[in-house]
Amino acid sequence: MNGLGGLNKSPNGVVIGLVQLQLPTIATRADVTAQAERIVALVAKARANMASMDLVVFPEYALHGLSMDTRPEILCTLDGPEVAAFKQACRDNRIWGCFSIMEANPNGNPFNSGLIIDDTGELKLYYRKMHPWVPVEPWEPGDLGIPVVEGPKGAKLGLIICHDGMFPEMARECAYKGAEIMIRTAGYTAPIRESWRFTNQSNAFCNLMVTANVCLCGSDGTFDSMGEGMIVNFDGAVLAHGTTGRVDEIITAEVRPDLVREARAHWGVENNIYQLGHRGYTAVKGGAGDCPYTYMHDLAAGRYRVPWEDTVKVTDGTSCGFPAPTRSYGEGQVPAVREAAE
């Protein structure tokens, strides 16, 4: 059930709109400014398109395109004019919005950051991409963890970005911290289409969590993004799917966080997010609560190493034209500001 894309909104429903934004070409600061204005206009379109919409989501790279350009003059900051414009757009249209910026980092490569702004223009969630799509992307790995916040109608929202969604640990962390709706923004191109589809569904089903996922759309003359807006219910069923590749189409559906809560409380079979820490509770009281996974222990201890580690050939970005890094993670970084990130 999706309320005919949100046209028929239930008292407990949250209507989400995913903007399959035309892939932009960005070369100058003026281009960034113009693209920010275009995004603001599409926030207004989303509100006019559907009065019941609670949250409008723009893809990763919506502001900067896919050039991987790290020049300081086109980067953004949280207190810059682009973010201010997004806040004003949400305030003016009384709608929550999810946005993407490439964030200046004075002590290293830029961060690929996601923002959720509420319908009063307040920044509620601030996230830095944890898993840049190596070796293609030059972004600094995120240092804010995975924040979860209370969104429209009290729904708990999490946000991850693109390649993050290929790691099941990312969706599980969102759910473990209480997320009932996980947003995944992306700039993916067509070769990832099938992987995109099944991970969006598995991330939902394995965590009893709605996932709302959207890519850029169309071509910039070099890259071709695929759109593929997908809203997936907590049982893995696809509620809405933008399969036509039509640029600037807004894919909509109503989702029910109250039914997520109900499933998490009442499901026995396949309540996997609970059962992970309560193995075999039919046989032993409360289930086994140990951690039998070697990779978890090794990662926590800083000794993560796959058995084929010495055979891995691509371990930096030189194959994609980036110089080999010389700075270790965290070296020279100022501690992250965590306002609106917890």
The DSSP secondary-structure symbol of 76 reads B
Q: How many Cα atoms are found within 13 Å in the side-chain-facing hemisphere of 165?
A: 29
Is 129 among the catalytic positions? yes
Answer whether 102's CB lies under 8 Å from 113's CB: yes
Tell how far CA 128 is from the center of its chain: 10
- Choose, from 60, 103, 180, 228, the residue flagged as catalytic: 60
Is 162 among the catalytic positions? yes
- Choose, from 76, 90, 98, 129, the residue flagged as catalytic: 129
- Choose, from 76, 90, 162, 215, the residue flagged as catalytic: 162
Is 156 among the catalytic positions? no
202-205: Cβ within 8 A, 24+ apart: 202/168, 202/236, 203/165, 203/168, 203/171, 203/232, 204/232, 204/233, 204/234, 204/235, 204/236, 205/234, 205/235, 205/236, 205/270
Task: Residue 86: count other Cβ atoms within 10 Å of its Cβ.
Answer: 24
Q: What phi and psi, each to the nearest 5 degrees, are found at residue 23?
A: -60, 120
Active site residues: 60, 129, 162
